[in-house]
Amino acid sequence: MVKDYPVIDKRSIVRMVYRRPPELIACLGLFSVLTSLFLFSPPQISFAQLSSSPETSASLGVQGANSQLAELEAARQQYMTAWNNTAFTSQFDVFVAEGTFGLYGEYREHVPANVFRPGETMVLYVEPVGFGHQPITDTSVEGSGDTDAASRTLYLINMTADIYGTDSSGAQVFAIEDLAVATNLISHRQMTEIPMTLTLTQEEPFPVGDYLITYVVYDHVTGQSFQIDRQITIDDNAITGALPLPDISNDNSMQSLLPEEQLEERSQALETSPTF
């Protein structure tokens, strides 16, 4: 059985197209947009491509650390250049309580600042700058098979001091010379932070009164020296001790003032304590 299909005239198709121009334009526009997205969209990158392996991250971390160390060493070399162009002098000095000083910058100031009791030990804490570093060749490692060690350079620091005292009339009451303060120090690096303490003990208590204490420090590497003058008073009624420090367990409190008796006990304890 043969089916009859309706015959559509071409002119009717044309009439259908012209009768529905908005729908046709919309379809063509959507087709154009989809085609553009497909042709010109960037390739998709998976998270696996973006993520780096632990080995790569570790390598980048090491490279960053090495770069920072290189910058730090370059800055140190610039600092040493400025250091070597600086005259030998004291950048800071202060009387400290006996037995309270240790590392560089670690001390408790003596109070009152320049008043002492008869027989009390006077300690001047000094931070010198501009002292020299004499290169010396270490020959103790020769023959060890390590060529780097056999040619390594060490550095010598050598400083001494004199201490003089005069009374209010200008008469000299004591003189201490060639006091070893940083003598024949040998280091692998050019040290710059050396805590220097100039200690004056009253073997015979000074009479009550005013005195001028003169400290002269010598750098035997550069041949330079500097002088510090300090006016002091000996008062048998003075109450002396150490300036309190903040209590780290309580931001609003201060450590109590240490009287001289406790300072002496602490100093003796430090002298008898074992070293490691």
Pairing of strands 122-129, 89-96: antiparallel
Q: Where are the beta strands (DSSP E) in 67-141?
A: 89-96, 110-111, 115-116, 122-129, 134-137
Does the model's pTM come out above 0.85? no
Pairing of strands 225-234, 115-116: parallel
Segments making up each domain of the chain, as ranges = 97-115+239-247+258-276, 132-193+208-234
User: Measuring CA to CA, which residue among 204, 106, 123, 135 is closest to residue 161?
Assistant: 123
pLDDT of residue 146: 62
On the question of a cis peptide bond just before residue 42, with omega within 30 degrees of 0, the verdict is no
pLDDT of residue 16: 45
Q: Both tokens of residue 97?
A: 């309580």
DSSP H or E run through 206: none
Q: Are 270 and 262 in contact (CB under 8 A)?
A: no
CATH topology of domain 132-193+208-234: Immunoglobulin-like (2.60.40)
Give the torsion through C-alpha atoms of 162, 166, 171, 173, to 10 deg: -70
List Cβ neighbours of 145 (8 Å cut-off, separation of 6 or more). Answer: none
Per-residue tens of pLDDT for the chain, all 276 residues: 545 545 445 454 444 444 555 554 555 455 555 555 444 455 554 444 455 566 666 777 788 788 999 999 999 999 999 999 999 999 999 999 999 999 999 999 999 999 999 999 999 999 999 999 999 998 776 656 665 555 689 999 999 999 999 999 999 999 999 999 999 999 999 999 998 999 999 999 999 999 999 999 999 999 999 999 999 999 999 999 999 988 777 655 555 555 555 555 544 443 444 433
Distances (CA, A) of 207 to 21, 32, 122, 166, 230: 120, 108, 15, 12, 17
Distance CA 109, CA 240 (A): 11
pLDDT of residue 141: 65
pLDDT of residue 114: 96
3-state DSSP call for residue 155?
strand
pLDDT of residue 59: 72
User: Measuring CA to CA, which residue among 267, 6, 263 is closest to residue 111?
Assistant: 263
Distance CA 83, CA 219 (A): 14
pLDDT of residue 93: 97
